[in-house]
């Protein structure tokens, strides 16, 4: 407890799923947390839960594809809590289709949220983090950013970009004391997994059963990923940067 005392964090996509679990866990460990999302009611619920537990939190409506929204979110964190130390670039969407089944608009929207969002939020946040003498950025990638998957061409491309962008950012901003790492989840039981099932025309339970066919015998829970993000954001990972942490129950161990 208290591993992040005195720190200020922004979590994009923080209103649900992995983002919500992460925001809650960072707050338990002492960080003041800004939940940045476009889901207003869920975002307000997320910060209410944090505050009920004695934590400090604020919600900011933020479309990560908008440069002005990204800047406003980082400025809001500094104004509310006095600075910024941690950015978790977690906002993302999925489209389950081959390139033949993906429209140009779908491709552009997915790339805008999953990749451009990381760029815009990081560009806005890095000067604030550097002003505090350094800190941590954690990007949410995917196991499918490390290997291909069926009927997910745009998603795989976007998460592969996030993995390599993480490495480039680590090189560029390490001298400012900013560590940049990537966590790559496997199948995790979140609203996005349910949306994925709908896209494929399959029952959610079927997706979960398929996802459990891995050495640890289950799909992930949001808290599993949140714990990995916490470690990367904390001083316990003080000599870790440019790394990709695969958190997938062993799904890619033989791949």
pLDDT, one tens digit per residue, over 21-56 is 999 999 999 999 999 999 999 999 999 999 999 999
Is the pLDDT at 255 greater than 70? The verdict is no
Query: Quick one: pLDDT band at residue 192, thresholds 50, 70, 90?
Result: confident
Ramachandran class of 39: left when φ > 0, alpha when ψ lies in -120 to 50, beta otherwise: beta
Report, as an integer, the average pLDDT of 178-202. 87
Nearest to 74 by CA among 31, 22, 115, 128: 128
8-247 CATH: 3.40.50.720
The token pair at 85 is 């130390």
Report, as an integer, the average pLDDT of 97-125. 98
Query: Quick one: pLDDT band at residue 251, thresholds 50, 70, 90?
Result: very high
CB 32 within 8 A of CB 5: no
Is the pLDDT at 196 greater than 90? The verdict is no
What's the mean per-residue pLDDT of the chain?
95
Ramachandran class of 133: left when φ > 0, alpha when ψ lies in -120 to 50, beta otherwise: left
Q: 155 catalytic, yes or no?
A: yes
Cα separation, 101 vs 255, in Å, equals: 26
Nearest to 114 by CA among 95, 128, 86: 95
Map out the domains of the chain as residue ranges. 8-247
| Beta-bridge partner residues of 89 | 139
The active-site residue out of 155, 161, 187, 211 is 155
The token pair at 67 is 């440069």
Query: Quick one: pLDDT band at residue 100, thresholds 50, 70, 90?
Result: very high
């Amino acid at each position: 407890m208290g591993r992040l005392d005195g720190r200020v964090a922004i979590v994009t996509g923080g209103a649900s799923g992995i983002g919500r679990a992460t925001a809650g866990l960072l707050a338990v460990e002492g960080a003041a947390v800004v939940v940045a999302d476009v889901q207003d009611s869920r975002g307000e619920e997320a910060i209410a839960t944090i505050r009920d537990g004695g934590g400090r939190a604020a919600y900011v409506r933020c479309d990560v594809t908008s440069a002005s929204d990204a800047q406003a979110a980082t400025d809001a964190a500094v104004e509310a809590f006095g600075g910024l130390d941690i950015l978790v670039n977690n906002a993302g969407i999925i489209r389950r289709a081959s390139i033949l089944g993906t429209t140009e608009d779908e491709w552009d929207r997915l790339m805008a949220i999953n990749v451009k969002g990381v760029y815009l939020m990081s560009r806005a946040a890095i000067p604030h983090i550097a002003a505090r003498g350094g800190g941590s950025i954690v990007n949410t990638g995917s196991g499918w950013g490390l290997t291909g998957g069926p009927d997910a061409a745009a998603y795989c491309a976007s998460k592969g970009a996030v993995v390599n962008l993480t490495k480039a950012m680590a090189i560029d901003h390490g001298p400012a004391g900013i560590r940049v790492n990537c966590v790559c989840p496997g199948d995790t039981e979140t609203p996005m997994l349910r949306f994925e099932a709908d896209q494929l025309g399959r029952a959610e339970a079927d997706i979960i059963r398929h996802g459990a066919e891995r050495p640890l015998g289950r799909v992930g829970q949001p808290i599993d990923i949140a714990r990995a993000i916490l470690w990367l954001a904390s001083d316990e990972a003080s000599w870790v940067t440019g790394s990709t942490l695969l958190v997938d129950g062993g799904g890619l161990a033989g791949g």
